[in-house]
Structure 1
Amino acid sequence: MTTSLVGGPALPQARRMVTDIPGPRSAELAARRSAALPAGLASAAGVYVAAAGGGVAVDVDGNSFIDLGSGIAVTTVGNSAPAVVERATAQLARYTHTCFLATPYEPYIEVAETLNRLTPGSHDKRTALFNTGSEAVENAVKYARAATGRSAVVVFDHAFHGRSLLTMTMTAKNQPYKHGFGPFAPEVYRAPMAYPYRWPSGPQHCAEEAFAHFAQLVDAQIGADAVACVVVEPIQGEGGFIVPADGFLRAVAEFCRERGILLVADEVQTGIARTGAWFACEHDGIVPDLITTAKGLAGGLPLAAVTGRADVMDAAHPGGIGGTYSGNPVACAAALGVFEEIESGRLVERARTIGEAMVTALEDIAAGTDVIGEIRGRGAMIAAELVVPGTREPNRDAVAAISRHCHLNGVLTLTAGTFGNVMRFLPPLSISDELLTEAFDVVRDGFASL
């Protein structure tokens, strides 16, 4: 099977290993990298990509890997998706940049109109565009503070919201995201996440007890009238694809409405069709006041957004929000291509099909091993939490061994989790059924090798 890439030949959709991993050309680039880049810029795989599309990535040595990571949920519609390439290429030929704050342009408005239409809720909305997920989350907090006149922000255990000063503060995990980078931003408070698998009294009590802790923190310790917003990932990404216990997010949303606190859904990793819905908050039936998107929004080009209630978004004073590159016209054109690919290819439904196939494969693997503690996620965002057999102790060694096996045998995978013991699977929605099956055969062999 092949997929046509605009501007280049068809890329064979096959796993193919022609050298050791890493190959000689990748090893050469790694040496150049170590001499030119700082050590803190770490990479999970030791191979360097030359081409990608459909469900594969080909390295500089000609090895073809099945992609189960999508650039960390970025190339949701597939790398170099035709509509993305066509629209971005045409925009490049017209102009690359004017700065929307200086000389505006239509593609920005088109992206905003589309997000206003697609996000949950029938209320009047506005959208502002930025470059990264961190920028989107940080600006959502700025909008919330401007609209409420309050300063406090509430986040949750296991959260990841970015690497800027404020969003790094909002992120829960110390290593590698926060260690040595303090002091941190003030007025950020953390509540327990309703994490069913690891809730001390069991999953049946998780939603109720986690909400009670959250409510007590806000009402008794912070003071609800001091809280501008609660920021939550409907499914926690870097935290390990944690799906909050059923009912928890709805209770939090109702609590916020009653106290005039704005609810911000961080959909940077979950949004734009990844979970089998346009936005993951739809699975819980909640309508946030503000939603942040990035990653999958523009098919690999840097673009992020805050979409929210018109009265909230209009609260910031003119000139208070923006950036030189925010809403770059080429990235906006790419985003319009992403929307086209999702709607014409029915990729929301495709995400559900892929998710069902991955869960089935992982359940089959789990039947033959005692290191999988839980399989969880939604749509094409599925994870397996690995534990020491007979316990719930995190098993980072097993994750490392399986990941290495997959990489050496032509499958790109990602890890996650506060304890580093989660394998996460984020294939592009353009992957074929055959490639997906073959990839999980390799994953299965990785578990067997333990």
Structure 2
Amino acid sequence: MRVALVTYGSRGDIEPMLGFAGELRALGVDVRMCAAPDFAELLAAAGIPLTPIGWSVREMVKGEVGGDAPRPADSLSERARVLAASTYEAVTEVAAEGCDAVVATGLIPAGAGARAAAEKLGVPYVSVSYFPTYLRSPHHPPLEWPGLAIPEGAMDNRALWERNAAHMNTLFGGAVNAQRESVGLAPVGDVIDHVFTLRPWLAADPALAPWIEPADLDVVQTGAWIRPDSRPLPPEVAAFLAAGEPPVYVGFGSMPLQDAAGVARAAVAAARAHGRRVLLGSGWADLALSDEGDDCLVVGEVNQQDLFGRVAAAVHHGGAGTTTTAARAGAPQVVVPQIADQPYWAGRVAELGIGAAHDGPNPTFASLSAALGIALAPETLVRARALADTLVTDGAAVAAKLLVGRIG
């Protein structure tokens, strides 16, 4: 039995798939991954073959495009067509040795290419979201997209979703259908319903990110997909942690920042104002320290599952994986949302009382000081630890058993 896992996005899109892949392999399933070329080393270390799709995500995020990567002048439709075609070709390449199902997440054109390949192969296709607001529901509005801000006024959520579907058809419909026509498949009328399907999976914790019924979709909520991380912390990090009280962690993962140096200075100063040391995660923004104080340390890629259990609070961008990891560790959070689902996670952290939602993507000393005042309050820690005890730990295993049961 072989399954093709498809995702095009940052590391936050890859990690849950790796957790799912591990559970599938434990059930005897041969797993292949179709993803951006950035993650070849990560997947090789996990023993999972990679068939690359699209362009380097990091190069595009950082504006360092090269080769045949899309330029700003390239039309969105053309970029979507190329990504859909690249994904289709990658999945069919995997299927050259057999394929029993395709499971996809990430950008819409990649999902469209994955579904086209599944149709052509005649195998099941499953669409996965890591957060509820990517999926159509009367209980929440759609994400804001470039060129389609959510209007002020009394428009209800269903009307907003209809407007969103029309916009997605304008952006991607021509590209998706051109790719489908090129491989002999019929066109689709609604790109959103086509890519996400009417029975998508939601790989998010039901306490942290619940799917609210009744809704228009038959959503299967499995719980978050977590890849267990047993790596030891680097010696310098372990020594720093042992040298004093728990520090504040600050990191923005795969997010670029308009003023990375300014954000780093503001974060360090805000933590110091609360009497806290700082662990600064460099990430794709290349955060760095502006002084040589021994109360701060810069860290690169590190086991956050271990680290977050040892910090006083985690300041981050609000990716699904980072938010869930901090919640599972019982760490109070300050979420500084940048794009996409991150405002949703910021709102959930605030609603649950396990931290603070920063207002907007550009933190200052004053705004971070105020947010840390909430996160570092004793009652916030109590709520964060109480929530941690309620979170589902076997979401990936649940999903793996569902898929294997479906394809038999």
Q: TM-score, normalised by structure 1?
A: 0.31
**TM score, norm. by length of structure 2:** 0.34
Q: Which has the higher contact order (CA 8 A, sep 6+)?
A: 1
